[in-house]
Structure 1
């Protein structure tokens, strides 16, 4: 790994030059993403191995149903080969239930089902704490054009349908999640693809099996999925045989 050229290093991943033109090797670290409560990333033993498997599972599933992603194949326990893409500097957030920032911003009770999935955009800049932006800002500053935005919404909602169904099938509610998207060129044509990763780091997950019941109905305040990386990998059938421990990270807001 030391002989490969590093292209980029983030909070949870490192990108290296790939073995083929137009490819990269994405390496998953054990570091957890910083939060307001814990601004310095902490290592979560085995997290990179599990996130590699989980992102492979979700990206492969999306590719299989015709949603284009950057994922090509898993290389080893911590690495996967991906397509090189021009990353759009936006986080696309899809919300199915009120939680976190949305509840605080609008005073909506935590756990309330939204009338329909809500798509929001956040400008990716750690110095600014990734502020929420409107479509007008995105087009005005040239981060994406209107056709890009229409395509991003369509992709995000297809990912949401797929992810919500998969999660529900293993007793997990997908409250919200974030995506990154990129542009690739195929001949003279540009297309948008889902990039980065899809892991518990980018999702808010509630454990339906642990919800209490009130008069036979699930409680509105579903609880976070405990031991999220290991438990989700186990329920989805992608837990590596050599992972025998569980961890209890803080889920994203």
Structure 2
């Protein structure tokens, strides 16, 4: 496909104009960042893995009636998505204490939570994506109360789906973050899961060993990020289990 006008470039993806009105092309880069981009690297193959894994999760959500912006994969690094207005929030769902929650509340990492907890952060890199409450969201007009009810409903449905899929692969879904977009059909608005779902945006631990299979491998220098993401892809059937240590062939 011919390269189109760049709309936006973030830390892990580039967005281009789509081939049809109301569409965008989402390109997955090999860049890895952590600690609000204070730690950076380029990890060969990461973008390919995240493209395929995000396709797997988004297609699965579409299949069970959870609306997403994903339309189809175009090639190894690009996917076609519906254009949407992103609500400026990161929506975080936590099942197990880890990361900032453990630091904030003094809960030992790995402690199961009594129920899934939904948190919100305001999307602003310059501010470090600060945590906000529903009061902030309503006061500043980022989302209406109806939007918030719908966002919580979507987030918990995504959690149920991902938890089940991961459990079947021997992986514990510790937490994840998603973004929500508004899609307009005339005067009618609906909310969809947008951006990506990949090991970049989830904490994934092996059920038996507790091994990290997510971006914490990069954050904490725990080994090869590509190996961790490849293991997730293999377990989910996105890659053949027989792939060797050289670059595995992704299933088309």
TM-score normalized with structure 1 length:
0.88
CA distance in 1, matches of 2:180, 2:237: 27
What residue in structure 2 maps to residue 70 of structure 1?
Answer: 69
Deviation at 1:243, TM superposition (A): 8.6
CA distance in 2, matches of 1:239, 1:178: 24
Write the mapping of 1:155-194 to structure 2, written as runs, cut at 5 A.
155-194=154-193
CA distance in 2, matches of 1:143, 1:231: 38
CA distance in 1, matches of 2:35, 2:186: 41
Contact 1:87 1:182 in 2 (8 A): yes
What residue in structure 2 maps to residue 34 of structure 1?
Answer: 34
Q: CA, structure 1 residues 109+145, in 2 after alignment: closer, same or farther (shift >3 Å)? A: same
Q: CA, structure 1 residues 152+98, in 2 after alignment: closer, same or farther (shift >3 Å)? A: same
Secondary structure of 1:19 counterpart: coil
Write the mapping of 1:85-234 to structure 2, written as runs, cut at 5 A.
85-210=84-209, 222-225=210-213, 227-234=227-234
Structure 2 runs not aligned, ≥5 long: 214-222
Q: How many correspondences in the alignment? A: 234
Q: Deviations over 1:65-102 (max 9, x none)?
A: 00000000000000000000000000000000011111
CA distance in 1, matches of 2:244, 2:78: 17
Contact 1:50 1:233 in 2 (8 A): yes
CA distance in 1, matches of 2:134, 2:211: 33
Secondary structure of 1:197 counterpart: coil
Write the mapping of 1:8-47 to structure 2, written as runs, cut at 5 A.
8-35=8-35, 39-47=38-46
Q: CA, structure 1 residues 242+48, in 2 after alignment: closer, same or farther (shift >3 Å)? A: farther
Q: CA, structure 1 residues 74+229, in 2 after alignment: closer, same or farther (shift >3 Å)? A: same
CA distance in 2, matches of 1:66, 1:237: 22
Deviation at 1:35, TM superposition (A): 2.5
Contact 1:16 1:25 in 2 (8 A): yes
CA distance in 2, matches of 1:2, 1:31: 23
TM-score normalized with structure 2 length:
0.88
Higher mean alpha-carbon deviation, 231-240 vs 8-17, is at: 231-240
Deviation at 1:236, TM superposition (A): 0.9
Secondary structure of 2:184 counterpart: strand
CA distance in 1, matches of 2:245, 2:2: 25
Q: Which stretches of structure 1, 4 residues or longer, exceed 6 Å deviation after superposition?
A: 240-243
Q: Deviations over 1:224-253 (max 9, x none)?
A: 12732111111111127799349xxxxxxx
Deviation at 1:33, TM superposition (A): 2.2
Secondary structure of 2:100 counterpart: helix
